[in-house]
Amino acid sequence: MIQATAISWHYGANPVIDGVSVTARPGRVLGLIGPNGSGKTTLLRLLYGALHSGTGQVLVDGDELSTLSSGEAARRLAVVVQETGGETALTVAELVLLGRTPHLSAFQRISPADQEIAARCLARVGAAHLAMRGFAKLSGGERQRVLIARALAQQATHLLLDEPTNHLDIRYQHEILHLVRNLDTCSVVVLHDLNLAARYCDDLVLLGSGGVAAAGTTDEVLDPALLEPVYGIGIRRLELDNAIHLLFHPHGRTIDNRTAA
């Protein structure tokens, strides 16, 4: 479990996250949603310790995050950030094996068991065929899948992902989030696509104007009355096949019932 209480972050005099409290529970997927600039990525960074709040605290399974050693933090928290570069000479297999580092002592070498774990993780994200390719030569979508495989290889109890569906086509967007949804971990994921959040998240935190505009189960938060003031767009919610679907339209315009059916 990750519990953050009254955490904040400012860029200069501008508060991005101001007194925010969130809880990510074991075996569930918590989605962080909100418009651009609402602080989703900043909040995620606070939750895994890349940024340090001047207020409140972040607890991981009851332990203050700031007191954990880097090795212990890596055994508990696996992180996938937005892929921004590929300037490395490592092959895909070598990069994924780096996920095993938190489980090795200072002079311990990679074992066949570690290599098997890394291979299984590559297969899980549909990238086994890329193992011997240079990471720098991959497409954006291929890199994203490999970085998720590296995080899985850590075998951490918590998984935090910043927009993991970036650069992925529709098939892999669903396959990756389906994979995350079925992991036995506490997962936190930043998402822009509210329909993906509806399908794969158990709980949601809706951010707006530096704070939490709404928090609760996915069913509770994906309420047009809560979403429309934050996103500034008209939203219609449909429930088809026991699933939530959201349709969007500029304020002042309505959705043609023929296209919404």
* DSSP string for 29-67: EEEEE-STTSSHHHHHHHHHTSS--SSSEEEETTEEGGG
Please tell me the predicted confidence (pLDDT) of residue 85.
54
Please tell me the predicted confidence (pLDDT) of residue 30.
98
pLDDT band for 104, please (50, 70, 90 cuts). confident
For residue 161, the cross-strand partners are: 80, 189
Radius of gyration of the chain (CA): 19
What mean pLDDT value characterizes the chain?
Answer: 90
pLDDT tens-place string over residues 127-186: 999 999 999 998 888 888 899 899 999 999 999 999 998 878 898 899 889 989 988 889
Model confidence pTM above 0.85: yes
Please tell me the predicted confidence (pLDDT) of residue 89.
85
Please tell me the predicted confidence (pLDDT) of residue 154.
94
